Amino acid sequence: MKKVSAQQMADHLGVTIRWVNQLAVEGKLKKDELGKFDLDLCCKQFYEKKKEVKSGSSEERYETSRADLTEEKARKAKWEADLIEGKALNLEAVREVGSERNHAVKSRLLSIPSKIAPIISDISDAAQCFKIINDAIYEALAELSDPRNVDSYIARYREIVKSQAPEESDLLEINEME
């Protein structure tokens, strides 16, 4: 039984603190003697009230619709804040940057044969050919793993995110990936 403040209750339900206090005054959410809410009980009361109101008067339906809108705005604001803070990722931007990164890796690796073929064409010693090929591969891998390249992909991701208005369905919480 977790006890929370009116502000924490409002944050959890996605409504304003004023709405939580109004529901408490009306007896629709129960507070203890210290003014704290039982999180589980109040959530149950709140969602039961929402179900009742959907079949109630137009004024109650209006209040519920307003609460739903407020809840949706709060959810969207949370997603946007999570996106800015790096707690969520825009999947479309991740896909685009990942695709660009894969293309860069493919291009760099496919350039190795044309770069070293002229060098090893006249060499008959297999060990020396192996060393040249091996060095070329490690050079490509070092180039691809250069932190400046990673930073450029992060910058590209941020550029894509800024150009798009995030939709909740396009976001994935990092916690879900772990």
Of 136 and 66, more confident? 136
The residue type found at 53 is V
Q: What is the pLDDT of residue 131?
A: 95
Q: What is the pLDDT of residue 169?
A: 44
- Model confidence at 147: pLDDT above 50: yes
Other beta carbons within 10 angstroms of residue 50's beta carbon come to: 16
Residue recorded with tokens 């091996």 = 134
User: Mean pLDDT throughout 133-141?
Assistant: 93
Task: Please give the full DSSP string across 119-160, using - where no structure is assigned.
Answer: HHTT---HHHHHHHHHHHHHHHHHHHT-HHHHHHHHHHHHHH
pLDDT digits (tens, 9 = 90+) for 82-104: 777 777 777 788 888 888 889 98
The shares of helix, strand and coil residues in the chain, as percent rounded to the nearest 5, are 75, 5, 20
* Distances in whole angstroms, Cα of residue 49 to Cα of each of 5, 71, 101, 114: 20, 15, 50, 71
Q: What is the pLDDT of residue 170?
A: 47
The band of 58, judged by pLDDT with boundaries at 50, 70 and 90, is low
pLDDT digits (tens, 9 = 90+) for 11-30: 877 788 888 888 888 888 88
Beta strand residue intervals within 31-102, DSSP E: 37-38, 88-90
Q: What is the pLDDT of residue 88?
A: 77
Of 73 and 103, more confident? 103
Residue recorded with tokens 């409504």 = 15
The residue type found at 46 is F
The band of 116, judged by pLDDT with boundaries at 50, 70 and 90, is very high
CA distance 48 to 32: 20
Q: What is the pLDDT of residue 137?
A: 93
Question: Vertex 30, ends 28 and 34: CA angle to 5°?
Answer: 145
Of 9-13, 41-45, 59-63, 151-155, minimum mean pLDDT range: 59-63
Helix (H, G, I), strand (E, B) or coil at 3: strand
